[in-house]
Amino acid sequence: MSEGPELNDAEAFAAEHALGVLNAAERAQAEARMAREPAFAAEVDAWRSRLAPLTQSVAAVPAPEGLWPRIERVLPANDNDDSVAVRGLRFWRGATVGSLGLAAASLAAAVFLANQPPSVIVQPAEAPGQLLNASLTTQDSAPVPLFVAAYDPTRKALIITSLVKPGQDPAHVHELWVIPSDGKPRALGFVEPGKSKAIPMSKELADSMAEGSAIAVSVEPPGGAPHPETGPSGPIAAVGKLAKI
Amino acid sequence: MAAATTPEALAQLMSRIATGDRGALRELYDATSAKLFGVCLRILSDREESEDVLQEVYVTIWRRADRFDSGRASVMTWVSTIARNRAIDRLRARGPLAYAEQVDTLEIADGAVGADTLLEAVDDERKLHGCLSELDDRTESVIRTAFFGGVTYEALGQRMDVPLGTVKSWIRRGLAKLKGCLER
């Protein structure tokens, strides 16, 4: 065969990601890059399509009889009709959601920590506004809570508690986002693993907080998403919606 | 099972699934589960784990059906990619021991495709196999091993006892040739 043209760096990286030879840190980089560079994401897609026929050469093996009923039992309510808020977050690709860099390391810790619920400070009953609460979970078939958020209308603050074990992924930060009804993510700062903090909100943003507003945490390079006005750059670690307690 | 199998019929199923039609998911399951179960088994070599992963795969398809874009990939490509990624995630979750067990299984034999398979093969599959077979055996085998094993450059280098840079350049050159061949 004649020598093909050399792949340029971006193309080689995309091909390597599609093939699966990158290590965990590089995979996380590739995922983040897919999220912010459509051209790179298209390159990865193209390589996935080139390589996917390999799976077609695998012999088909009938799945066991009892499997469909098992699947049907665990089908969640189909969430495809979600509010604009959650849809706004769907910039990352369905096929790769299972391979987020963050997840594997932090999940075991989260499961462990989830057994030790954080104490969220609740306002006295005479507080005029209704406290809203959200559990932020991973978005897979067995959601795991990674963060707990509460919006306190009296203090106009969002109280966020991280259930992620500290020290798992020092190369990244967890950035907090709120997505009010307009669907645009607003950056609210960082959440340190294992810590709680109260984040004051501007009056305008505080006024837009309501039941159903989405809260999300993304995994970002140190310093946070490079262009917070356009939303997260890295994968979404967890998402939840505010609801009355 | 008489299941929908043309690409168009599968794509129509996807849009029904995206609106929450469980019957459509069942039809997709009938049409694709044997192939995807085969992919999971091929990667995991463990029936029980493959069943768990296959379950996750269909739940994922159910939840993400609205993101399927027929302009970007065929349904078979999309669902196979989900199955492969999920199975590889599971494989990696077993930890480094899983890699150690497989040290001797660099699979050149896998390149031999049966005549039946070739007859059934759709065009792009046949083309890919043709192009892979134009690579030298070692490069072809490394690419197949990486694809089905989720094996990183580091692990490939260790298995084959060659420096990481060498594996990297084999694979990069192989992929460049593959692309050139597929575009001919």
ipTM of the complex: 0.80
> What percentage of chain B exceeds 70 in pLDDT?
83
Return the biggest CA–CA distance within chain A: 79
- The reply to whether B98 touches chain A by the CB within 8 Å rule is no
- For B163, what's the count of Cα atoms within 13 Å in the CB-facing half-sphere? 3
Q: What is the pLDDT of residues B149-159, one digit of tens each?
A: 888 899 899 88
Amino acid residing at B117? T
pLDDT of residue B173 exceeding 90: yes
**Chain A contact for B156, CB < 8 A?**
yes
Instruction: Pick the range with the lowest mean pLDDT from A100-109, B45-54, B169-178.
Output: A100-109
- A52 and A91, same domain (yes or no): no
Residue B120: pLDDT band with limits 50, 70, 90: very low
Identify the residue whose tokens are 């604009």. Answer: A84
Residue linked to tokens 């490079």: A226
* Structure-block tokens of residue A23: 């290590």
**Hey, which residues 129-148 in chain A have their CB within 8 Å of chain B?**
139-141
Residues of chain A with Cβ-Cβ distance to B151 below 8 Å are 20-21
Confidence check: pLDDT of A118 > 70? no
Dihedral sign from CA coordinates of B91, A25, B85, B66: positive
pTM > 0.90: yes or no: no
CATH code: domain of residue A62? 1.10.10
Residue of B nearest to A100 (CA): B89
* Shared domain check, A58 and A127: no
- The CATH number fitting domain B1-94, selected from 3.30.360.10, 1.10.3720.10, 1.10.1740.10, 2.40.110.10: 1.10.1740.10
3-state secondary structure of B3: coil
pLDDT of the residue at A165: 82
How many cross-chain Cβ pairs, A to B, lie less than 8 Å apart? Answer: 199
Range of the domain at A21: 1-75
- Chain B CB contacts of A1 under 8 Å are 134-135, 177, 180-181
Domain ranges of chain B: 1-94, 104-184
Chain A residues inside the 8 Å CB shell of B122: 53, 56
CATH 1.10.10.10 fits B104-184, yes or no: yes
Q: What is the mean pLDDT of residues A92-106?
A: 40
Closest CA to B81 of A79, A100, A48: A48
